[in-house]
Homo-oligomer: A and B are copies of this chain.
Protein backbone atom coordinates (compact mmCIF):
# COMPACT_ATOMS: atom_id res chain seq x y z
CA UNK A 1 0.00 0.00 0.00
CA UNK A 2 0.95 3.63 -0.43
CA UNK A 3 2.29 4.95 2.87
CA UNK A 4 3.35 8.60 2.96
CA UNK A 5 5.98 9.03 0.23
CA UNK A 6 6.72 5.32 -0.37
CA UNK A 7 5.14 1.92 -0.90
CA UNK A 8 4.91 -0.61 1.90
CA UNK A 9 4.71 -4.36 1.45
CA UNK A 10 6.55 -7.64 1.47
CA UNK A 11 7.79 -6.89 -2.05
CA UNK A 12 9.05 -3.43 -1.07
CA UNK A 13 12.07 -2.41 1.01
CA UNK A 14 11.70 -2.34 4.77
CA UNK A 15 10.49 0.97 6.18
CA UNK A 16 11.29 2.30 9.62
CA UNK A 17 9.08 4.00 12.21
CA UNK A 18 11.36 5.43 14.89
CA UNK A 19 11.77 8.14 17.46
CA UNK A 20 11.75 8.75 21.20
CA UNK A 21 8.86 7.23 23.14
CA UNK A 22 7.54 10.61 24.25
CA UNK A 23 8.20 14.20 23.18
CA UNK A 24 10.42 15.48 25.95
CA UNK A 25 11.19 18.91 24.46
CA UNK A 26 11.17 20.69 21.12
CA UNK A 27 14.95 20.61 20.86
CA UNK A 28 15.14 16.93 21.55
CA UNK A 29 12.41 16.15 19.02
CA UNK A 30 14.04 18.26 16.31
CA UNK A 31 17.48 16.81 16.97
CA UNK A 32 16.41 13.20 16.98
CA UNK A 33 14.28 13.65 13.87
CA UNK A 34 17.15 15.29 12.04
CA UNK A 35 19.59 12.57 13.05
CA UNK A 36 17.17 9.83 12.03
CA UNK A 37 16.45 11.51 8.70
CA UNK A 38 20.13 11.78 7.88
CA UNK A 39 20.79 8.20 8.83
CA UNK A 40 17.87 6.68 6.96
CA UNK A 41 18.51 8.82 3.89
CA UNK A 42 22.06 7.54 3.76
CA UNK A 43 20.92 3.94 4.09
CA UNK A 44 17.97 4.31 1.73
CA UNK A 45 15.39 3.32 4.32
CA UNK A 46 11.93 4.96 4.04
CA UNK A 47 11.34 6.66 7.39
CA UNK A 48 8.47 7.92 9.57
CA UNK A 49 9.16 9.84 12.77
CA UNK A 50 7.29 8.64 15.86
CA UNK A 51 6.76 10.31 19.20
CA UNK A 52 3.90 10.49 21.70
CA UNK A 53 2.35 13.63 23.12
CA UNK A 54 0.75 11.76 26.03
CA UNK A 55 1.34 8.44 27.74
CA UNK A 56 -2.09 7.59 29.09
CA UNK A 57 -1.25 4.17 30.44
CA UNK A 58 1.75 4.63 32.66
CA UNK A 59 2.16 2.16 35.54
CA UNK A 60 2.12 5.01 38.03
CA UNK A 61 0.64 8.47 37.97
CA UNK A 62 4.01 9.68 39.22
CA UNK A 63 5.55 8.97 35.80
CA UNK A 64 6.04 11.71 33.20
CA UNK A 65 3.10 11.81 30.83
CA UNK A 66 4.17 14.36 28.26
CA UNK A 67 4.06 18.06 27.44
CA UNK A 68 0.36 18.00 26.68
CA UNK A 69 -1.43 17.74 23.40
CA UNK A 70 -1.17 21.33 22.18
CA UNK A 71 2.54 21.61 22.72
CA UNK A 72 3.05 18.07 21.46
CA UNK A 73 1.21 18.64 18.21
CA UNK A 74 2.98 21.98 17.67
CA UNK A 75 6.32 20.20 17.91
CA UNK A 76 5.26 17.35 15.61
CA UNK A 77 4.11 19.91 13.05
CA UNK A 78 7.48 21.59 13.27
CA UNK A 79 9.31 18.29 12.84
CA UNK A 80 7.20 17.57 9.78
CA UNK A 81 7.71 21.01 8.27
CA UNK A 82 11.30 21.74 9.10
CA UNK A 83 12.92 18.31 9.06
CA UNK A 84 10.77 17.13 6.20
CA UNK A 85 9.76 13.73 7.51
CA UNK A 86 6.28 12.24 7.90
CA UNK A 87 5.20 11.90 11.52
CA UNK A 88 3.21 9.29 13.44
CA UNK A 89 1.69 9.50 16.89
CA UNK A 90 -0.52 7.30 19.01
CA UNK A 91 -3.99 8.32 20.07
CA UNK A 92 -6.17 7.30 22.99
CA UNK A 93 -9.88 7.30 23.72
CA UNK A 94 -9.83 10.87 24.95
CA UNK A 95 -7.62 12.27 22.19
CA UNK A 96 -9.12 14.94 19.90
CA UNK A 97 -8.82 12.76 16.83
CA UNK A 98 -9.50 15.39 14.21
CA UNK A 99 -7.00 17.77 15.75
CA UNK A 100 -4.32 15.08 15.77
CA UNK A 101 -5.23 14.00 12.25
CA UNK A 102 -4.75 17.55 11.00
CA UNK A 103 -1.09 17.39 11.98
CA UNK A 104 0.26 13.86 11.63
CA UNK A 105 0.66 11.61 8.61
CA UNK A 106 -0.03 8.30 10.31
CA UNK A 107 -2.10 7.45 13.39
CA UNK A 108 -1.42 4.58 15.73
CA UNK A 109 -3.68 2.76 18.19
CA UNK A 110 -2.43 1.20 21.42
CA UNK A 111 -2.42 -2.55 21.98
CA UNK A 112 -4.62 -2.31 25.08
CA UNK A 113 -7.37 -0.59 23.06
CA UNK A 114 -7.51 -2.97 20.11
CA UNK A 115 -10.88 -4.39 21.20
CA UNK A 116 -12.55 -0.97 21.64
CA UNK A 117 -14.64 -0.99 18.49
CA UNK A 118 -15.87 2.61 18.64
CA UNK A 119 -12.36 3.89 19.20
CA UNK A 120 -10.74 1.87 16.41
CA UNK A 121 -13.44 2.90 13.97
CA UNK A 122 -13.30 6.56 15.00
CA UNK A 123 -9.55 6.62 14.43
CA UNK A 124 -9.90 4.94 11.07
CA UNK A 125 -12.58 7.43 10.02
CA UNK A 126 -9.99 10.20 10.06
CA UNK A 127 -8.83 8.84 6.72
CA UNK A 128 -5.13 8.64 7.49
CA UNK A 129 -3.08 5.43 7.40
CA UNK A 130 -3.42 3.68 10.77
CA UNK A 131 -0.95 1.37 12.50
CA UNK A 132 -3.04 -0.94 14.73
CA UNK A 133 -1.13 -2.75 17.43
CA UNK A 134 -2.20 -6.30 18.26
CA UNK A 135 -3.24 -6.75 21.89
CA UNK A 136 -0.84 -8.65 24.12
CA UNK A 137 -3.87 -10.81 24.93
CA UNK A 138 -4.61 -11.64 21.31
CA UNK A 139 -3.59 -14.32 18.84
CA UNK A 140 -2.24 -13.15 15.48
CA UNK A 141 -5.34 -14.43 13.68
CA UNK A 142 -7.57 -12.34 15.95
CA UNK A 143 -6.37 -9.32 13.98
CA UNK A 144 -8.52 -10.36 11.03
CA UNK A 145 -11.68 -9.27 12.87
CA UNK A 146 -9.99 -6.06 13.98
CA UNK A 147 -9.00 -5.20 10.43
CA UNK A 148 -12.50 -6.03 9.22
CA UNK A 149 -13.91 -3.49 11.69
CA UNK A 150 -11.34 -0.92 10.59
CA UNK A 151 -12.19 -1.37 6.93
CA UNK A 152 -15.93 -1.16 7.57
CA UNK A 153 -15.57 2.62 7.90
CA UNK A 154 -13.89 2.86 4.54
CA UNK A 155 -10.21 3.02 5.46
CA UNK A 156 -8.07 0.69 3.37
CA UNK A 157 -4.71 1.99 4.61
CA UNK A 158 -4.34 -0.21 7.66
CA UNK A 159 -1.15 -1.71 9.07
CA UNK A 160 -1.01 -4.38 11.77
CA UNK A 161 1.77 -4.31 14.32
CA UNK A 162 3.04 -6.94 16.77
CA UNK A 163 4.48 -5.75 20.09
CA UNK A 164 4.53 -9.11 21.89
CA UNK A 165 2.12 -11.53 23.49
CA UNK A 166 1.52 -12.29 27.18
CA UNK A 167 3.65 -15.21 28.33
CA UNK A 168 3.21 -15.95 32.00
CA UNK A 169 3.38 -13.00 34.36
CA UNK A 170 5.24 -9.76 33.58
CA UNK A 171 6.71 -11.21 30.41
CA UNK A 172 6.06 -10.89 26.70
CA UNK A 173 7.15 -13.28 23.99
CA UNK A 174 7.47 -12.49 20.29
CA UNK A 175 6.06 -15.30 18.20
CA UNK A 176 7.68 -14.92 14.80
CA UNK A 177 4.99 -17.16 13.29
CA UNK A 178 2.51 -14.41 14.02
CA UNK A 179 4.24 -12.05 11.61
CA UNK A 180 3.57 -14.54 8.82
CA UNK A 181 0.08 -15.35 10.01
CA UNK A 182 -0.96 -11.70 10.03
CA UNK A 183 -0.25 -11.53 6.27
CA UNK A 184 -3.72 -13.02 5.93
CA UNK A 185 -5.16 -9.62 6.87
CA UNK A 186 -3.81 -8.25 3.59
CA UNK A 187 -2.18 -5.43 5.55
CA UNK A 188 1.50 -4.55 5.78
CA UNK A 189 2.87 -6.18 8.94
CA UNK A 190 5.06 -4.12 11.28
CA UNK A 191 7.19 -5.44 14.12
CA UNK A 192 7.67 -3.28 17.19
CA UNK A 193 11.14 -4.25 18.38
CA UNK A 194 11.31 -2.11 21.50
CA UNK A 195 7.96 -2.63 23.20
CA UNK A 196 8.40 -6.35 22.53
CA UNK A 197 11.28 -6.39 25.01
CA UNK A 198 9.30 -4.66 27.75
CA UNK A 199 8.80 -6.43 31.04
CA UNK A 200 5.35 -5.09 31.85
CA UNK A 201 4.50 -4.30 35.47
CA UNK A 202 6.29 -6.38 38.02
CA UNK A 203 8.85 -3.78 38.99
CA UNK A 204 6.55 -1.75 41.12
CA UNK A 205 6.25 1.79 39.85
CA UNK A 206 7.64 1.33 36.32
CA UNK A 207 7.98 -1.30 33.64
CA UNK A 208 11.37 -2.87 32.92
CA UNK A 209 12.97 -3.81 29.63
CA UNK A 210 15.60 -5.95 27.97
CA UNK A 211 17.32 -3.49 25.65
CA UNK A 212 19.96 -6.05 24.75
CA UNK A 213 17.28 -8.13 23.02
CA UNK A 214 16.19 -5.37 20.62
CA UNK A 215 18.74 -6.30 17.93
CA UNK A 216 18.02 -10.02 18.34
CA UNK A 217 14.28 -9.62 17.83
CA UNK A 218 14.63 -6.96 15.13
CA UNK A 219 16.88 -9.20 13.04
CA UNK A 220 14.64 -12.22 13.62
CA UNK A 221 11.50 -10.35 12.61
CA UNK A 222 13.06 -9.00 9.44
CA UNK A 223 14.19 -12.48 8.45
CA UNK A 224 10.71 -13.84 9.23
CA UNK A 225 9.46 -11.23 6.78
CA UNK A 226 7.88 -7.88 7.54
CA UNK A 227 7.02 -4.66 5.77
CA UNK A 228 8.14 -2.27 8.47
CA UNK A 229 10.03 -2.07 11.72
CA UNK A 230 8.99 0.12 14.66
CA UNK A 231 11.66 1.06 17.14
CA UNK A 232 11.89 3.66 19.88
CA UNK A 233 15.25 5.31 20.23
CA UNK A 234 16.71 8.00 22.45
CA UNK A 235 20.01 9.86 22.66
CA UNK A 236 20.47 8.65 26.24
CA UNK A 237 17.92 6.01 27.26
CA UNK A 238 19.16 6.00 30.84
CA UNK A 239 17.82 9.55 31.15
CA UNK A 240 14.65 9.06 29.13
CA UNK A 241 11.42 10.23 30.74
CA UNK A 242 9.56 7.13 29.56
CA UNK A 243 10.42 3.58 28.48
CA UNK A 244 14.16 4.06 29.01
CA UNK A 245 14.89 0.39 29.73
CA UNK A 246 13.68 -0.78 26.36
CA UNK A 247 14.71 2.04 24.00
CA UNK A 248 17.69 1.66 21.71
CA UNK A 249 20.48 4.26 21.98
CA UNK A 250 20.43 6.59 18.99
CA UNK A 251 24.21 6.48 18.84
CA UNK A 252 24.17 2.73 18.27
CA UNK A 253 21.47 2.76 15.63
CA UNK A 254 23.57 2.89 12.47
CA UNK A 255 25.18 -0.57 12.70
CA UNK A 256 21.84 -2.09 13.62
CA UNK A 257 20.10 -0.47 10.66
CA UNK A 258 22.88 -1.53 8.31
CA UNK A 259 22.44 -5.16 9.33
CA UNK A 260 18.67 -4.90 9.13
CA UNK A 261 18.75 -3.35 5.68
CA UNK A 262 21.00 -6.05 4.30
CA UNK A 263 18.95 -8.85 5.89
CA UNK A 264 15.76 -7.39 4.46
CA UNK A 265 17.30 -7.26 1.00
CA UNK A 266 18.36 -10.91 1.19
CA UNK A 267 15.04 -12.17 2.48
CA UNK A 268 12.92 -10.26 -0.01
CA UNK A 269 15.18 -11.21 -2.91
CA UNK A 270 14.64 -14.90 -2.17
CA UNK A 271 10.92 -14.56 -1.51
CA UNK A 272 8.75 -16.27 1.07
CA UNK A 273 8.60 -19.95 0.31
CA UNK A 274 6.02 -20.48 3.06
CA UNK A 275 3.43 -18.39 1.26
CA UNK A 276 2.59 -21.33 -1.00
CA UNK A 277 1.76 -23.35 2.13
CA UNK A 278 -0.04 -20.69 4.18
CA UNK A 279 -3.82 -20.96 4.10
Residue positions of A touching B, CB distance < 8 A: 56-61, 92-94, 112-113, 115-119, 121, 135-139, 141-142, 145, 148-149, 152, 165-171, 173-177, 179-180, 197, 200-202, 204-205, 210-217, 219-225, 252, 255-256, 258-259, 262-263, 266-267, 270, 272-274, 277-278
Q: Report how many copies the assembly holds.
A: 4
Which 10 A-B residue pairings sit nearest by Cβ, starting from the closest? A168-B168, A223-B223, A93-B93, A212-B277, A139-B169, A142-B201, A166-B166, A220-B220, A57-B115, A219-B223
Q: In the complex, which of the residues B145, B167, B219 contacts A205, with contact meaning CB atoms closer than 8 Å?
A: B145
Separation of A223 and B217 alpha carbons in the complex (Å): 9
Q: In the complex, which of the residues B92, B139, B170, B224 contacts A201, with contact meaning CB atoms closer than 8 Å?
A: B139
**A180 engages B213 (CB within 8 Å):** yes
**B137 engages A200 (CB within 8 Å):** yes
Separation of A40 and B154 alpha carbons in the complex (Å): 49
**B202 engages A142 (CB within 8 Å):** yes
Q: In the complex, which of the residues B141, B179, B262 contacts A202, with contact meaning CB atoms closer than 8 Å?
A: B141
**B278 engages A270 (CB within 8 Å):** no
For residue A267, which residues in chain B have a CB less than 8 angstroms away from its CB? 219, 259, 263
**B221 engages A116 (CB within 8 Å):** no
For residue A212, which residues in chain B have a CB less than 8 angstroms away from its CB? 180, 274, 277-278
**A137 engages B135 (CB within 8 Å):** yes
Extra A-B contacts (12), CB below 8 Å, given A142-B170, A167-B169: A56-B118, A113-B113, A137-B200, A139-B169, A165-B166, A167-B167, A173-B175, A176-B176, A179-B216, A180-B216, A216-B274, A223-B263
Q: In the complex, which of the residues B94, B118, B152, B177 contacts A216, with contact meaning CB atoms closer than 8 Å?
A: B177
Q: In the complex, which of the residues B94, B177, B204, B273 contacts A255, with contact meaning CB atoms closer than 8 Å?
A: B273
